[in-house]
């Protein structure tokens, strides 16, 4: 794995993974392929840019010629590029399908032709659909409920098919909700922090009982790197082990950190298809040696500190409408 191609490497999770990989002695080059859409930002790579190991390429994973030119010089791929926002997938189903499914197929096809040593496809717990009770295991049926999750489930199946049909050494990771510095403020924690730190109220859907497992991005990246190194081709690995919290419980923690009270919280009707609970069994990756290291209290404190120090990373509006409008609709599930 001397040379690793990381798609979506200028995004939230991708940039943290790149920071890890360039510090690894046996990895000589990390190439980031990122189209720099709204959620990708080269400022996420400011530390990595100082390394001679890093090569940055701006481009789309659906660009067959570009991917075909890049792939032959790499021995491994970590594929994180995706349209990852639930509400955006509801507004534009086609873009989610095109990027998440066809983009993944374009990468897999190039990896097959070039004979890469490992292809890690990064996915989400949302592909399992709601889990009112129990915890999903890697072999359980996929029951996605929204276009974003359906497109990720389809890309998972596409990746598996390239292992079975063509022998591409694919591993799939499915993680619970990530949080930490650099996350785009359409997602729940940075959205709530942006609002609370500027004195705005935050909005909770329904009764605030949606349950999510919150995993620090550094823990997720350690697990992805572990799968890159030691994952068995053809296998799927759930990445969990964070802290289970309802939306109300998480909101309460954020309020305490920033010194505000429940007067800053309003409630609205629940979003359509807002799955009540996600839960995964992650014992399989624990057998590879993974254990989370970041506790929620220190992780949230670190995240608040970062957003306070990076006010310029708080975009308020976009061409598609106000960020707050789009983000609040999916804050629980994103």
User: Do 45 and 56 touch, CB atoms closer than 8 A?
Assistant: yes
Can you say whether the dihedral through the CA atoms of 42, 48, 50, 53 is positive or negative? negative
Closest listed residue to residue 241, CA positions, set 276, 288, 287, 293: 293
Q: 199 is written with which tokens?
A: 């004195």
332 secondary structure, DSSP code? T
Q: How far is Cα 2 from Cα 20, in angstroms, rounded to an integer?
A: 14
Q: What DSSP line would sit under 90-149, residue for residue?
A: HH-HHHHHIIIIIHHHHHHHHHHHHT-SEEEEEEEGGGG---SSS-B-TTSPP---SHHH
Burial class (CB within 10 angstroms; exposed 0-12, middle 13-18, buried 19+) of 272: exposed
Tell me the Cα Rg of the chain.
19
| Residues assigned a catalytic role | 125-126, 148
Across-strand partners of 190?
none
Residue with tokens 């007067």: 263
User: Do 89 and 147 touch, CB atoms closer than 8 A?
Assistant: yes
């Amino acid at each position: 794995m001397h040379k690793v191609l990381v798609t979506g490497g200028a995004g939230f999770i991708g940039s943290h993974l790149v920071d890890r990989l360039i510090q690894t002695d046996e990895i000589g080059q990390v190439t980031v392929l990122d189209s720099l859409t709204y959620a990708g930002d080269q400022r996420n790579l400011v530390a990595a840019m100082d390394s001679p190991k890093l090569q940055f390429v701006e481009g789309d994973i659906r660009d067959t010629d570009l991917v075909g030119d890049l792939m032959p010089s790499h021995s491994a791929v970590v594929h994180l590029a995706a349209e990852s926002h639930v509400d955006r997938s509801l507004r534009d189903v086609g873009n989610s399908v095109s990027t998440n499914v066809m983009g993944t197929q374009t990468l897999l096809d190039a990896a097959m032709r070039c004979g890469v040593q490992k292809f890690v496809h990064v996915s989400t717990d949302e592909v399992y659909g709601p889990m009112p009770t129990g915890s999903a295991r890697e072999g359980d049926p996929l029951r996605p409920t929204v276009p974003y999750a359906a497109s990720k489930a389809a890309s998972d199946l596409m990746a598996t098919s390239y292992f079975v049909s063509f022998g591409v050494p694919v591993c799939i990771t499915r993680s619970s909700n990530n949080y930490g510095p650099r996350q785009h403020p359409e997602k729940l924690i940075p959205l709530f922090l942006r609002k609370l730190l500027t004195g705005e109220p935050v909005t909770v859907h329904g009764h605030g009982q949606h349950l999510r497992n919150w995993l620090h991005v550094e823990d997720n990246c350690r697990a992805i790197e572990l799968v890159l190194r030691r994952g068995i081709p053809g296998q799927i690995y759930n990445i969990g082990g964070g802290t289970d919290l309802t939306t109300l419980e998480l909101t309460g923690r954020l309020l305490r950190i920033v010194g505000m009270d429940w007067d800053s919280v309003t409630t609205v009707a629940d979003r359509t298809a807002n799955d009540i609970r996600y839960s995964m069994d992650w014992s399989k990756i624990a057998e590879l040696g993974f254990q989370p290291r970041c506790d929620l209290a220190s992780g949230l404190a670190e995240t608040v500190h970062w957003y306070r120090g990076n006010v310029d990373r708080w975009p308020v509006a976009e061409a598609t409408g106000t960020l707050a409008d789009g983000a609040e609709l999916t804050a629980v599930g994103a």
